[in-house]
Amino acid sequence: MHKLTALAVVAAVTAGSLALAASPALASHGPKHMMTVSFAAGTDSSAHWVRRKQAVRFRVGPGLRGPTQFAEIVVHHFPAVAPAAEPAFAATGSGLPVLLIGFKDGGYLAGTTGDGSTAWTAYDPTGTVLVSATNYSSALAAEQGTSTDLTVNLVSVTDTQVWLGAAFTDTITALQYNGTSLVPHGHTATTSHIAGAKGFFAVVTALPPSGMPWCSWRSAPC
C-alpha cells in the first residue's frame, strides 16, 4: 500500500506545483463563479473526470522516475485573496493528495484530507514550517504574520509518487474552494485537459535552500 506522511508528500510536491504559478493562466484572478479546473499529469500518470464528472480519478505511475510521476487538479481564476472559510476536499485511495494554496511571495499552505483541525501546515517563503498539524484559520494566520505578499497565485490538488513506489490510484470525490464546488462538476466550473503534460516534478526532490524563495530557486518571476 502506498502510504506517506503529510510532510513528506508536501516536501515532494510543493516546489513543482508552485513553479506552475508562473503561468499567467494560473495567476489570473476572477470572481468565484468564474473558477475553472484543468488536469495535469506526469509521464505514465493520468488525471480525468469519472462518473459523469462527479469525481476525478488520479492514476500515479510507478516511481521509476521518482517525483516526475504525479496527477493534479489545477484551479484557475481564483480570487486574489485566500478564502476566510476553509477550502476542503475528499479522496479515497492509497495515496495522500495535498491541497496547495500558494502566495506571491513564496509562502504557501498545504492541507490534507481528514480532520480539519490537524490537516493544515503553513510554510514561509523559504520552505520553513511555520505551524503544522493545525486548522486552516491558524495556518492562514501564521502566514499572514510572516508573508509580505499574500496574493494567491496557485490553487491545486496534487498526488505525487516516491522513488521506486508502486503505482496507485486515488479518486477525488469533492473539492470546494471559496464557497464553490469544483468537484463534483457544477455549473460554475469548466474543464480542459493539459495534453501530454509532464515534467512539472522533474528533479524536484527537496524544498528551496533556506533563505531562498521558491520563485528564485525555480527561476520563476517573484
DSSP string, 78-135: B-SS--SSPPEEEEEESS--EEEEEETTS-EEEE-SS-TTS-EEEE-TTS-EEEEEE-
pTM, full prediction: 0.75
Give the CA radius of gyration of the chain: 16
Question: Counting Cβ atoms within 10 Å, is residue 164 exposed (0-12), middle (13-18) or buried (19+)?
Answer: exposed
Top mean-pLDDT range of 25-34, 62-71, 107-116, 207-216 = 107-116
What confidence tens digit (pLDDT) does each residue in 78-106 have? Answer: 999 999 999 999 999 999 999 999 999 99
pLDDT over 90 at 147, yes or no: no
What confidence tens digit (pLDDT) does each residue in 153-173 have? Answer: 999 999 999 888 999 999 999
Q: What's the confidence (pLDDT) of residue 190?
A: 40
